[in-house]
Amino acid sequence: MLAVGLLGLILLSVIALFHSLLASSSKSNDMTVATVIAQQRLNELVTQQPAYQNVYHQDFPTDVLGQTVYAHDSQSSSTFYSKATPELLKDESGFGRTYYLEVQVYWNASESGQPSANRHQQGAQSVKAGRVVYVPTS
């Protein structure tokens, strides 16, 4: 009877450890995908800046974009939302403007415009990437 109880306790410990490792792997996978999406969006915003100026009449669009990715397996998808936030650092009339451009990517959001709060045993559900960008005056 003691051996069966001990075996049960060991089995429960192994199952709990496996569950924890699976959750950690899933979180790591989401963070990697979000980091790649943030860098891609940041690069797109910088390289396409003249086109955005012509279309939106502002240096950088700030709308939220959603992107569905099969990050874990081919049957379950996750939606990652990205939002750009340009912060004007310096405006030199006649020369150009300097921005700190930051892109935040988040997932598991209840609404597309709002990042979710930290989730129990998963922590933050967002990633940020940023860089300083100079936009010359045309």
DSSP state string for 91-135: EETTTEEEEEEEEEEEES-SBTTBPPPPBTTTB--EEEEEEEEEE
Tell me the pLDDT tens digit for each residue of 89-118: 999 988 999 999 999 998 876 665 565 555
Lowest mean per-residue pLDDT among 12-26, 30-44, 94-108, 112-126: 112-126
- Please indicate, yes or no, if residue 64 is contained in any of the structural domains: yes
Q: Please tell me the predicted confidence (pLDDT) of residue 55.
A: 84
Tell me the pLDDT tens digit for each residue of 58-78: 888 888 888 888 877 778 788
- Please indicate, yes or no, if residue 67 is contained in any of the structural domains: yes
- Please indicate, yes or no, if residue 110 is contained in any of the structural domains: yes
Closest C-alpha to 108, from 68, 67, 80: 80
Domain count, the chain: 1
- Please indicate, yes or no, if residue 2 is contained in any of the structural domains: no
- Pairing of the two strands 78-92 and 65-69: antiparallel
Q: Which domain holds residue 39?
A: 26-136
- Please indicate, yes or no, if residue 4 is contained in any of the structural domains: no
Closest C-alpha to 101, from 51, 15, 43, 21: 43
Distance CA 74, CA 70 (A): 6
- Please indicate, yes or no, if residue 17 is contained in any of the structural domains: no
